[in-house]
Amino acid sequence: MGKHMYLRMAKDGMHKNRQMYFPYLLTCVIMVMMDYLIVYLASCKTLSMAKGGTSAQGMLGFGVAVVAIFAVFFLLYTHSFLLKQRKKEFGLYYILGLNKQNLLRICGWETLITAGISLAGGLFLGILLSKGAELCLVKLIQGEVILRYEISVFGIVKTIVLFAAIFVLQFVGASWQMMRMQAVNLLHSDKMGEKPPKGNALFAIGGALLLGGAYYLAVTIEEPVRAISIFFIAVLMVIAATYALFIAGSVFACGQMKKKKGFYYKPNHFVSVSSMSFRMNRNGAGLASICILSTMVLVTMSTTICMYIGSEEAVKMQCPKQISASVRFTNSELPIASAVEGYRECIEKVIEKNRVKVTKKADYLEGTFIAEEKSGYLNTTEADFRKGLKTGNCYMVSWMPVEDYNNNYRKKVKLAADEVLLDDPDNAYKGKTIRFNDGAVYKVKRVSTSGAENFYANAAGYPPLRIYGGQVPEGAMLIYHYDVDTTLTDEESGNVSDRILEKISNYHVPGKTVQEMQQDNISLDVRTQKEMRDGFLSEFGALLFLGCLLSLVFLVATVLIIYYKQIAEGYEDVKRFDIMKKVGMTEREIKKSINSQLLMVFFIPLVTAGLHLSFAFPLIEKIIMLMGICNRVLLAGTSAIGFAVFAGFYMIVYKMTANEYYKIVR
């Protein structure tokens, strides 16, 4: 006797159930590996030495938490599934004379073996692949490669602690199951069919309302700033709704299919419909999990890929030309015109002195404010983004003197004193006149100026109005822009932008000192596309990398759930098909019936995931808008391609697991 016997029984048990244990162990190994990889990347020194590495690591820190939380839930869930499958075996041991302590010992050994293999295998693979993963990430964020190999002790310790905790929890769960075990129940366990849950209609209605609500929120949201908080609420609503609807829907559909005699009593449908309704609740829950995981993969991938590809656009949005300088006046008592003139001279002096060849130039004064329309007035308001204004009658106004308009758009417009040009791309403003709250009234001449979208206007979710001409509106925030494209290289543009900043920092209007200028809260900003690009790439590259990593984790989970679903149902159905063969069912009919069942069931999650993705689309669009990317076509493209690739992958998994099922029941 002694402990060797229990160890041997544990080993035998795992070996005999290898059809279930092997995929489980593989999943554990992958989870450990992923956890180590992400902790390693988020904390390793090598990466922090690379350009953009630290900001990438900030992003990855978020992923560390996601992977850990997901690993806990997912591994506990799959383990409880394994335990359920083996209940009968343990029941037999129990009846043959092993007491519960003995059974716990077997369980304990099993847990130890699982932990040992997963931690050793996972950490080995993690350490092996860590440099490769790091290089991929560095490539994505376009940082420089640092040839230095590092093993993260912190990562190893953290991974071991996390997974040790998970395995301890699994063992506690197993013990709890063992303690409640009663021999009689174990011997004839799975004969009863599932009853439709009480209040199924309520479930269905609740689910439909939740889903409808989430979809409504997603479609109607206009302010991107609120989109982020709404997004998380909507995600929770969709998850709950998916579970409720899949369970209720599966119960309802089974009932309906059984009622339709002409459909039910057909060789293809008869067997599949009855076994589906036999396990309708479980079926619904399993399919809902598959659907949600698929949606997570789809949303993550299409979003992060879109952001990475679209990062150049974000660069242009925040820095329209190679070098973009801006001066923001907060104090309107300054002599603006002369200050603008002074700043322009400063910048042009630097450009001349450095012999910079300018290919394109735009310099203009811009006044921006949020205006609320009230009985024909455009009132400047103290807008608080965080509170969120009513969007109904607010506009994001951008004003420009008519001279700058003529300069920038190469026009020769002459306006009367009571005229302004209005560009209203959303066709939101209906009035024929505009009256600012300082009392000035202007007649509107509508124009259309195609150009870069106003980033801030979109972010706030208000329709933009561009007004050219007239006096500076009261309460507008005035910004002087000086943007140039040059023939400089990226490196040189950085130098020049530093010089420009240095020069304009020392400028002061006559009668004020440099210190007084600073006290007036004039904010100066000179940026280059190069530095913006580096910033975005390290941010979006890290996000894309994180998206791939998380998608991989979710994918593994999806595949395992599908696989287990097939296996568990296969073992349940094997006796049934045996009887059916005796009653006179041919192999061909069995195969057809299986196909009918799988087809009916397996493509529903995929289609629903596609539906979720398309309703999440407006929400995702708003969120990435906040990151500076307004490209609906690109997002639609990455979503569509992402869905197509995922569907192909799903088909393969379906084929393979269906084979597995068929092998069991034949």
Q: How far is the CB of 247 from another protein (least distance, A)?
A: 18
Smallest gap, in angstroms, from Cβ of residue 256 to another protein? 16
Query: Which residue has tokens 């799975």?
Result: 190
Enclosing H/E stretch for 422: strand 419-423
**Closest to 227 in 3D by CA, of 295, 303, 282:** 303
- CB closer to another protein, 193 vs 376: 193
CB of 236 to another protein, least distance (A): 35
List contacts with another protein (CB under 8 A).
191-193, 261-262, 265-267, 270-271, 274-275, 277-278, 576, 579-587, 589
Nearer to another protein by Cβ, of 262 and 439: the residue is: 262
| Least distance CB 270 / another protein (angstroms) | 5
Q: Minimum Å distance from CB 291 to another protein?
A: 24
Question: Contact, 398 vs 455, CB < 8 A?
Answer: no
CB of 570 to another protein, least distance (A): 14
Nearest to 595 by CA among 520, 523, 665: 665
In angstroms, give the least distance from the CB of 572 to another protein: 9
Comparing CB distances to another protein, the nearer of 254 and 365 is 254
Closest by Cα among 322, 396, 319, 311 to 629: 311
Tokens representing 87 are 């209940």
**Tokens read off for 212:** 């409808």
484 has which bridge partners? 323, 361
- Give the nearer residue to another protein in terms of CB position, either 583 or 633: 583
Query: In whole angstroms, what is the distance from residue 385 CA to residue 117 CA?
Result: 52
- Annotate 214-223 with b (16+ C-beta within 10 A) or e (fewer): bbebbeebeb
SS (H, E, C) 90-117: HHHHHHCCCCHHHHHHHHHHHHHHHHHH
User: Which of 147, 579 has the CB closer to another protein?
Assistant: 579
Instruction: Kindly give the pairing relationship between strand 433-436 and strand 377-380.
Output: parallel
Supply the minimum distance, in Å, between the C-beta of residue 587 and another protein: 8
Q: Specify the residue, 275 or 638, whose C-beta has the smaller distance to another protein.
A: 275
What are the tokens at 162?
């996390």
Q: Is the dihedral of CA 550, 552, 553, 558 positive or negative?
A: positive
- DSSP-assigned states of every residue in 425-447: TT-----SEEEETTS-EEEEEE-
Q: Given the DSSP bridges, would you call strands 523-528 and 377-380 parallel, antiparallel or unpaired? A: unpaired
Using left for φ > 0, alpha for ψ between -120 and 50, and beta otherwise, residue 307 falls in: alpha
- Nearest to another protein of 261, 390 (CB atom): 261
CB of 574 or CB of 645, closer to another protein: 574
Smallest distance, another protein to C-beta of residue 571, A:
14
Q: Which of 291, 213, 288 has the alpha carbon at shortest distance from 251?
A: 288
Q: Smaller CB distance to another protein: residue 146 or 257?
A: 257
User: Which is closer to another protein, CB of 178 or CB of 280?
Assistant: 280
With beta carbons less than 8 A apart as the criterion, state whether 276 and 569 touch: no
- Shortest spacing between CB 218 and another protein, in angstroms: 39
Q: How far apart are CA 282 and CA 266, in angstroms?
A: 24
CA 267 to CA 270: how far, in whole Å? 6
- DSSP label of 604: H
304/549 Cα distance (integer angstroms): 11
Of 191 and 410, which has the nearer Cβ to another protein?
Answer: 191
- Could you give the angle at the alpha carbon of 524 between the alpha carbons of 523 and 529, nearest 5°? 130
